[in-house]
Structure formats: structure tokens, C-alpha cells
Chain A
Amino acid sequence: MSIDKNQVKKVAKLSRISLDDSKLESLSKDLASILNFVEQLNKLDTKKIEPLTSVVNKTLDPRKDKINDGEIKNEILKNSPEKNEDFFIVPKVVE
């Protein structure tokens, strides 16, 4: 498996990253070489191996159902590049 320019464009779209056409060539080359590098793993037979999902030898510690957060609207909105008194503001969503 390798990755061509069209696939790179598709993945960039999925990642919501605009790409300069001028950079597409070299980026595709980089990505192809990284993928080529990681494909070494195909040499290993892992059929019987369970995937590892966490290195911590424990399970979830749940918290109690208490309201102890929120009511910090100003803090939440403070860093937003566009907002009004109550809301985050974004360009119109087009479906």
C-alpha cells in the first residue's frame, strides 16, 4: 500500500487541513515514505495477538454524579476568536 496525491488530498479534506498545491508533491512523497517505513510491521504474524489498548493495569475509576463544574461562561468564551456575550460565533454552516 502506498499513498498518491489524490489520497493525500482526500485525507487532508478529512483532517480539515487546506494544502498548498505547491507542497502536495513533497508532502505525498514524505507520507509515502513514512507509510512505507511503518509497513515493516506486515512482516510480523499477529493473528493470535490481542491488541493493547492501555499500558495501565487498571480499569476506569468512575466519579460520583455531582454537579461541581460549569457556570464559567466568561472563562469558556474568553479565548474565543469570535464570540458575543453568550455564544461562540462561527461562519455559517452550509450542509
Chain B
Amino acid sequence: MTNLNNSSLLEIVNLIKSKKVSSLEITKHFIKNIEKSKKLNSFITTCFEESLKKAKDFDEKKNFDGLLSGVPLAIKDLFCTKNVKTTAGSKILENFIPTYESTVSNNLWSEGAILLGKLNCDEFAMGSSNETSFFGNTINPIGKDLVPGGSSGGSASALAANLTPATIGTDTGGSIRQPASFTGTVGLKPTYGLCSRWGIVAFASSLDQAGPMTKNVKDCALLLEAMSGYDEKDSTSINKKKEKYSKNLSEKIKGLKIGIPKEYRVENMPKEIDILWKKGIDILKKSGAKIVDISLPHTKYALPTYYIVAPAEASSNLARYDGVKYGYRSKKGKNLIEMYENTRGEAFGDEVKRRILIGTYVLSSGYYDAYYLKAQKVRKLIKNDFDKCFKNVDAILTPSTPSSAFKIGEKTNDPISMYLNDIFTVPVNLAGIPAISIPAGQDKQGHPLGLQLITNTLDEQKILNIALAMEKSIAFKQSIDRWWE
């Protein structure tokens, strides 16, 4: 049998379609991997019994119409899954079993995929290291003491460790791209509105966007095709025809103009990242693209803007976790108000509390204009920067992160240093445009590093094409010795 651990999503799809391997065999393979991966702590919930049943069903019915026919997948525990516990990494949803399925995950099942389980993440997707999860931190397969990044840390870890052939995450400020970069995988944050937000536990509604996390660019195109699409249940969903990203994938990028923004050259950035960035530029040049120096002057204001907008929206989005309709309720408290306070005090973690408090503060009377309104104005400036650049260039190339995966516990005591990790990923969320992180090389310690491509709204095909061309030239290899098994 083929070594499934080296197989990409597309290869698995083809193995099943060509009937070389059954869905049940594949599912069993991944279940075996998952069972041996306790040390990574990348799963919060598994549903193997159900997965095996579905795989058997699939093998009996042999309906190969779907893009993901018979493929088992684990997904971030932020997507509500019908009859399968959904926690968002929080104690407050520890026992929450949705009676409904998120649109995006449902799209995957409609394409024939089978749920393996729910992947660990930072609590309510608030974090850059997966250390804020109530269910414990996830380990990066690259190294025992490394964080996988966050918030889709469980997704990145499971993908890199071959516990799932591909996965989906959500990206509010870099939560797909940063963990992809930390684990040597591919992660795409689509245009805001391309994937429905319906049924995804909300963090910051104007920034949240689901996206694919895969081993390579072709898989990424395939998974994006499967998960995206207009949803009338989400008012911010973009109403357009479904694209065939996979079929239209092409590595011909000759003549495209790629912008290099000077503002992404930050102080104290490791030299390796700069070298890698230059390598990326060279590859693009060799592929026939034109390199243009550009300026995104408000880049440095993106992170402060984000840390007003996202907490503000979060403070309101998380008000529904009050111990009344679902989730944890404190036993303490004589009256309703005390019940609320104790429930939320006991069941939210420190980072979530910090963000709710900041968000409440910046929206409160007397501070709204100085913080929230100001941030929305700067957000406009940031978006204007991109709009202006995309009049002249097809895409922008930057590093994905200012460092490789850091050590567990290294940044937990200093929120700002943790936040700074998202410095390159956040501007894109503020502007609502797509960006992809692809593995581009390693630092001195052998930890993977990613490069980020950014395009204009709805230019997902273009971003995938450029990424494919780069991926081919980079020929990234990361050997992982499965030390956890």
C-alpha cells in the first residue's frame, strides 16, 4: 500500500476515486495516527465510531461525485458540528453539542468528506500559540518544546503530523497563516465573505474568515473550492458563482507584477527571514514576474488598530456566553447578575478576559471616539493603502511571520510580545483581502518559515497560481521524525 503519510489530499482523493484504497482503509490509517498522537494534544474531540461508520457507508455506496469523496478530515473546533461537541477551546462551551452544522463544514461533507474529530485551538481563537486553550496547549510536531502557532494550532499540528490529510481553520488576524508558517504547511485566508461564517463560533465578525490548511498549493485550491460559496444565511457572504480553483490552477505567472512593501522590513527581524524573502523575490523574477517596490505606509498601525477592533467585536460577540442557553453555569451567585459574573469569571481564560475587558473599555461611553472610531478610520487608511497598490501590482510578497515557531511559555507573560507575532498577517484581515502562507525554508534551528502572498479582493485564483509557481521552485522539504509516536 502507498505510504499514506506522504500522501497529499489530492493523492488520497485520487486513490479513493481510482479504488486503489477504500475510504475505510484511509480512515483507519488516520485514526491509528491520531491514537498515537496524544502527546501533541491536537485533538479536543474525536468521533471515530461515527467516522468508521460513514467510511463504510461510503465504500458501499461508492458515490465519487464529490470533490472530497470518502476523505476523512479533522477540523478546527470553532466550526459547529451537528451532534459533535464544539468547544471553541473554552471551558464555557465544554459540554456544548450543537444541533446544527456550520455551512463551511457542511460544504465539506456535501463533497463527500468524513469528520474525524475536532482540533484544538486557542480559546475563542484568541491567541497566537494555542496556549490559551482550556484543553491544554498543542505541541508543534517540528519540536517537542515548540508552539504550533495559533489560533488554528491544533489544525496545523495535526496536518504537519499527518493526523488529517488536510484541514480547515479560521483566520481573524493570522490564525491560519501563522501556524501554517510555524509548521511548514500551506494556509490560505480567503477574501472576507468568500466562505460563510454561519455556524462558526464568532470571535471578531468583521475579520473572521475560514480557510484551508493543506500540505501543498494544489490541495489548498481543492479544499478552498469545496468549502467556499455564497450563503444567504450570512449577510456578509459574497454572492458569486463558485470558482473551479483546482481546474484553473496554473503556474504560469509570467508578466505578473509583484509588489515588495518596504514597511514589512521590521527591526530585529532575524536575518534568515530577510534572506528567505529575497530568495522568494528571485524565484518570482525567474518565473517571469516583475518585481516592484511599493509602500503600504500605514502598516505599522495595523496591529494597534486590530487590537481595538477585534476585542471590541469580541466583547459583544462573547456576551451570549452567560450560562443561560447553553454551556457552563456557575453554581455560585444569589441572583442573575452574580450568576453571570461567576459563570464568565470562572469559565473564561485570562486572554479572553483581557480582550473582553479591552473591548468593553474601548466601546464604553467617553472612549468610543478615541479608540473604536479612531481604529475604524485607520482601518480605512490601511485598506486604502492596499487599494492603491493593487492598481499597480497583481500581488504582494512578504514574510508570513517575524520569527519561526517560538518556545512554549516563551511569550505567555507578555501579551504585547505575543501580539507582535501577527504583525505581517493582521493588515490583510483589516482590509478583507486574501493572503496565503507557503513554506519557504528553514531557520538555523531547522524550524520552518513561510512567505506570504497577498492579492486583491477575490483574486484567489491568482494567489494560488503564484503560490504554485513558487512552491515548485522552492521545493520545500521538512523531515519530521514522528517523535510523539
A-side residues, CB < 8 A to B, are 1, 3, 7-8, 11-20, 23, 27, 30-31, 33-35, 37-42, 44, 46, 49-58, 60-61, 63, 72, 75-76, 78-82, 88, 90-94
Contact = CB atoms under 8 A, between A and B. Distances in A.
21 contacts: A16-B337, A16-B341, A18-B345, A20-B345, A27-B357, A31-B354, A34-B416, A37-B307, A39-B304, A40-B304, A46-B374, A46-B381, A49-B378, A49-B381, A50-B377, A51-B373, A56-B238, A57-B457, A61-B239, A79-B326, A90-B336
Given A35-B361, A41-B378, A79-B96, A92 B335 contact: yes
Given A34-B307, A40-B304, A80-B325, A49 B380 contact: yes
B236 interface: yes
B412 to A, nearest CB: 11
Contact of B236 (A1, A56, A79, A91): A56
- Interface bin, chain B: 35 or more
Nearest to A18: B345
Given A18-B342, A31-B354, A88-B325, A93 B336 contact: yes
A10 B399 CA distance: 41
B21 interface: no
Contacts of B362: 38
Given A55-B192, A91-B338, A60 B360 contact: no
Contacts of B446: none
Nearest to A23: B350
Interface in B324-374: 324-329, 333-342, 344-346, 348, 350, 353-354, 356-358, 360-362, 364, 367, 370-371, 373-374
B375 interface: yes
A57 B383 CA distance: 12
A75 B96 CA distance: 12
B374 A41 contact: yes
Contacts of B236: 54, 56
Contact of A91 (B99, B192, B308, B336): B336
A52 B379 contact: yes
B277 to A, nearest CB: 25
Contacts of A90: 324, 336, 339
Contacts of A92: 335-336
Contacts of A91: 333-336, 338-339
A37 B358 CA distance: 12
Given A46-B374, A54-B206, A80-B326, A38 B304 contact: yes
B388 to A, nearest CB: 14
A62 to B, nearest CB: 9
B374 A55 contact: no
B354 A27 contact: yes
Nearest to B378: A41
B327 A81 contact: yes
A61 B238 CA distance: 10
A50 B432 CA distance: 17
A44 B335 contact: no
A38 B420 CA distance: 12
B391 to A, nearest CB: 16
B305 interface: yes
Given A55-B383, A79-B96, A11 B323 contact: no
Contact of A14 (B338, B339, B360): B360
A76 B325 CA distance: 8
B425 to A, nearest CB: 15
Contacts of B131: none
